[in-house]
Amino acid sequence: MKKQIPYKIYLSEKELPKKWLNIRAFMGNKPAPLLNPATQKPMTEAELSTVFCSELVRQELDETTPYIEIPQKIRDFYKMYRPAPLVRAYCLEKALGTPAKIYYKFEGNNTSGSHKLNSAIAQAYYAKKQGLKGVTTETGAGQWGTALSMACSYFGLDCKVFMVKCSYEQKPFRREVMRTYGANVTPSPSNLTNVGRKILEEFPGTTGSLGCAISEAVEVAVSSYGYRYVLGSVLNQVLLHQSIIGLETKTAMDKYGIKPDVIIGCAGGGSNLGGLIAPFMAEKLQGKENYQMIAVEPASCPSLTRGKYAYDFCDTGKVCPLAKMYTLGSGFIPSANHAGGLRYHGMTTTLSELYHQGLMEARAVEQTEVFKAAEQFARVEGILPAPESSHAIKVAIDEAIKCKETGEERTILFGLTGTGYFDMVAYENFHDGKMTDYIPTDADLQKGFDGIPKINL
Ligand SMILES: *Cc1c(COP(=O)(O)O)cnc(C)c1O
């Protein structure tokens, strides 16, 4: 007998994943290694350990262990806000009049308001275990900084956040949430670092950039005793931690005998999508199932759909290693787009390689369409979605409408990465009809491509 599918499928504590899944272990052609920009040789464990925590470096370089144990202390923290609910979007299905079955995994059920806490807590744990005093990082829109502040306060670590100056000024409430959790928040560029002072001298009125904030955070980490730098997306270790999203989803779906036909997620650096698809992609790579998977990116920052697959710098300041990825060039500056978390110029090496092998697809969507989908979703499902997450909603709705036309009863799964409470200025612009859709021309993109280093391998 078929079980009735509830609105929300929860897991019991016993059913929660005990191990993360490392997609790279299932890949035949592995993602290309990070390179040292000075020598153009693969980054060694020793080189990476001057910047990152030792255990995290081991995870970063591990492309053979399929499952990695989640330490008990991290599982204990996960229990406070996980499992994240897997919701059957009955109301949305009804509103669309579609025969499709729509499910979403909601990661906004914690104070940071996004999936970023899943990796923040893991990174803080390993920093504490190593006996460090604290960590440094950058934040743009503020979700990562908030998640890391929460994780650091839990483990009693000092947390220094360099927040892009314009966000620091425009999102004072995000800043105060971080300070509530004890983080030290500095607008970037600042005069605390050589990099910051140099930039301030050259461009006195600058409102900062993510690239500059990264350079400042790295400088402070490597020059302060007992500190390391941590990053909230792009790296393989982050995808590993985020596999908790997909593992919970798969367990919940298996309980009811549900198989998604298509899996959809927004892609900035690629961590939530990499995490959501992890166990499904592992089955696909083993030839067991053939799921369709779609990465959704903003048309204003189209790294997968219009970028080049090449070695590039991970940051504008060019202090980080080179990664082979789909990239728009580290100097590419996307037009003002309200999905701050999707404005990164590149894409994690693992998803880049999977996309390159044709194992997943990508679509670019325009922001007014995204906000229309966000509003439609909010009105029937109740949750106020983050602009980033709404990219996935948009494509999920498109797919459901296609099913209405063809009569196919496909099962659609998408990742709802977070809530949009701090993005009300964006919603305001949308409601007032002031939102624009800027799509870069080929000439705009060429400027970014011109800055990609010429690496011969
Ligand atoms: C950061 C963020 C993203 C994008 O980052 P990924 O690494 O691509 O997952 C998406 N949604 C929300 C809510 C975010 O905070």
CATH number at 445 reads: 3.40.50.1100
Residue type, position 388, single letter? E
Residue type, position 431, single letter? H
CA of 453 to the centre of ligand 1 (A): 27
Shortest-distance atom of ligand 1 to CA 141: 15
Shortest-distance atom of ligand 1 to CA 274: 9
In the beta sheet, which residues pair with residue 103? 88, 413
Instruction: Give the confidence band of 259 by pLDDT, cuts at 50, 70, 90.
Output: very high
7 within a domain of the structure (yes/no): no
347 within a domain of the structure (yes/no): yes
From 115, 171, 238, 344, give the residue whose CB has the most ligand 1 atoms within 8 Å, as the site to mutate: 115
Together in a domain, 376 and 409: yes
Task: Kindly state if the Cβ of 267 falls inside 6 Å of ligand 1.
Answer: yes
74 within a domain of the structure (yes/no): no
Instruction: Measure the CA–CA gap between 23 and 49, rounded to whole angstroms.
Output: 23
198 within a domain of the structure (yes/no): yes
Instruction: Give the confidence band of 356 by pLDDT, cuts at 50, 70, 90.
Output: very high
Note the pLDDT tens digit of each residue in 290-325: 999 999 999 999 999 999 999 999 877 777 899 999
Task: Kindly state if the Cβ of 186 falls inside 6 Å of ligand 1.
Answer: no
**DSSP character for 183?**
-
Note the pLDDT tens digit of each residue in 325-355: 999 998 887 777 677 788 888 999 999 999 9
Whether the Cβ atoms of residue 36 and residue 43 lie closer than 8 Å to each other: yes
13 within a domain of the structure (yes/no): no
Note the pLDDT tens digit of each residue in 427-449: 999 999 999 998 999 999 999 99
From 417, 419, 422, 423, give the residue whose CB has the most ligand 1 atoms within 8 Å, as the site to mutate: 417
How many alpha carbons lie under 13 Å from residue 306 in its C-beta half-sphere? 22
Together in a domain, 299 and 390: yes
Taking CA atoms, 441 is separated from 295, 299, 334, in Å, by 21, 11, 12
178 within a domain of the structure (yes/no): yes
457 CB contacts (<8 Å, ≥6 apart)?
311
Task: Kindly state if the Cβ of 348 falls inside 6 Å of ligand 1.
Answer: no
Residue 226, by phi and psi: left (phi above 0), alpha (psi -120 to 50) or beta? Answer: left
Together in a domain, 142 and 278: no
- Final residue belonging to a domain, choices 206, 229, 252: 229
| pLDDT at site 2 | 65
Task: Kindly state if the Cβ of 31 falls inside 6 Å of ligand 1.
Answer: no
76 within a domain of the structure (yes/no): no
| pLDDT at site 166 | 86
Together in a domain, 104 and 44: no
Together in a domain, 87 and 153: no
pLDDT beyond 90 at 6: yes
pLDDT beyond 70 at 169: yes
Whether the Cβ atoms of residue 55 and residue 129 lie closer than 8 Å to each other: yes
Q: 83: cis peptide before it, omega within 30°?
A: yes
Together in a domain, 157 and 268: no
Task: Kindly state if the Cβ of 174 falls inside 6 Å of ligand 1.
Answer: no
Instruction: Give the confidence band of 456 by pLDDT, cuts at 50, 70, 90.
Output: low
pTM for this predicted structure? 0.97
Lowest mean pLDDT among 49-58, 277-286, 309-318: 309-318
Together in a domain, 25 and 151: yes
Q: Which two tokens stand for residue 280?
A: 């499904």
- Final residue belonging to a domain, choices 210, 229, 248: 229
CA of 27 to the centre of ligand 1 (A): 24
Task: Kindly state if the Cβ of 350 falls inside 6 Å of ligand 1.
Answer: no
| pLDDT at site 24 | 98
Give the distance from CA 31 to its chain's centroid: 18
| pLDDT at site 457 | 55
Average pLDDT of span 219-236: 96
Counted domains in the chain: 2
Together in a domain, 97 and 127: no
212 CB contacts (<8 Å, ≥6 apart)?
164, 188, 189, 195, 196, 199, 206, 316, 317
Shortest-distance atom of ligand 1 to CA 238: 7
Nearest residue by C-alpha to atom 14 in ligand 1: 341
Average pLDDT of span 354-375: 98
Instruction: Measure the CA–CA gap between 411 and 239, rounded to whole angstroms.
Output: 24
Together in a domain, 58 and 104: no
Together in a domain, 220 and 266: no
Residue type, position 434, single letter? K
Helix ranges, 130-226 (H): 143-155, 165-170, 172-180, 194-202, 210-223
Together in a domain, 408 and 305: yes
Domain of residue 315 covers 81-113+239-449
Instruction: Measure the CA–CA gap between 423 and 74, rounded to whole angstroms.
Output: 29
Q: Which of 410, 418, 285, 440 is nearest to 360 (CA)?
A: 285
**DSSP character for 157?**
-
CA of 330 to the centre of ligand 1 (A): 19
Together in a domain, 275 and 364: yes
Shortest-distance atom of ligand 1 to CA 389: 11
- Final residue belonging to a domain, choices 229, 264, 299: 229
Q: For the chain, what's the residue count?
A: 457
Whether the Cβ atoms of residue 413 and residue 260 lie closer than 8 Å to each other: yes
Note the pLDDT tens digit of each residue in 176-197: 999 999 999 999 999 999 989 9
4 within a domain of the structure (yes/no): no
CA of 339 to the centre of ligand 1 (A): 9
Task: Kindly state if the Cβ of 269 falls inside 6 Å of ligand 1.
Answer: yes
Task: Kindly state if the Cβ of 268 falls inside 6 Å of ligand 1.
Answer: yes
